[in-house]
Structure 1
Amino acid sequence: MQVFKTSGVCAREIRFKINDAKIIEKVKFIGGCSGNQSAIAALAEGQTIEHVANKLAGIECRNGTSCPDQLSKALKDLL
């Protein structure tokens, strides 16, 4: 699994696994609100990196970012 250290959100990091076809196989947030993060992970898994990164980019919660936005940044780093 790859690890992305978050910034400006309750979750400390995001762990994710991407396959060779650039499909998200697994997402796990460490820290933060488990209900919302479980929903984000469930919706992202099985989708392409590009699709999820574009859909979640710019969603704000506080500090000008959010857990979905941080996942988007992590995925965009792979593109």
Structure 2
Amino acid sequence: MFVYKTKGVCSTEIHLEVESNMIKNVEFIRGCAGNLFGISALVKGMKIDDAISKLKGIDCKGKGTSCPDQLSKALEEFKATSL
């Protein structure tokens, strides 16, 4: 499992399970549970690069980031350290 410490959002961590460049599971720690369960379900089975391209740059209330954007950053860091 890969653990990413989020920055600038309500969730504090993202736990990733990836196999053969496919997202197997995503778990957000803290944050808006319903929305984050939804995001996790939507990206399950998706290729890493496809998820990054869909989520990167999404902003929440002018913060400059969001939980989906943080997930894209987690996936980019995973790629840089694991693939």
Answer whether TM exceeds 0.5 for this pair: yes
User: Where does the alignment leave 5 or more consecutive residues of structure 1 unmatched?
Assistant: none
Q: How many residues of Structure 1 are paired with residues of Structure 2 in the alignment?
A: 78
Q: In structure 1, give the amino acid aligned to 2:3.
A: V
Deviation for aligned residue 1:78: 2.8
Unaligned segments of structure 2, at least 5 residues: none
Once residues 16 and 75 of structure 1 are traced to their aligned partners in structure 2, the CA distance between those partners, rounded to angstroms, is 8
State the AA in 1 paired with 2:18.
Answer: I
Identity of aligned residues (%): 50
Quote the residue 1:42 is aligned against.
41
* Deviation for aligned residue 1:76: 1.2
Separation (CA, whole Å) in 2 of partners of 1:45 and 1:4: 17
Could you say which residue in structure 1 is the equivalent of 2:22?
23
Q: Please give the TM-score of this superposition, normalised by the length of structure 1.
A: 0.95
Q: After TM superposition, which residue ranges in structure 1, 4 or more long, deviate above 6 angstroms?
A: none
TM-score with structure 2 setting the length:
0.90
Q: Could you tell me how far apart the structure 2 residues matched to 1:77 and 1:32 are?
A: 21
Deviations 1:24-78 (A, max 9, x none): 0000000000000000000011000000011000000042100000000111123
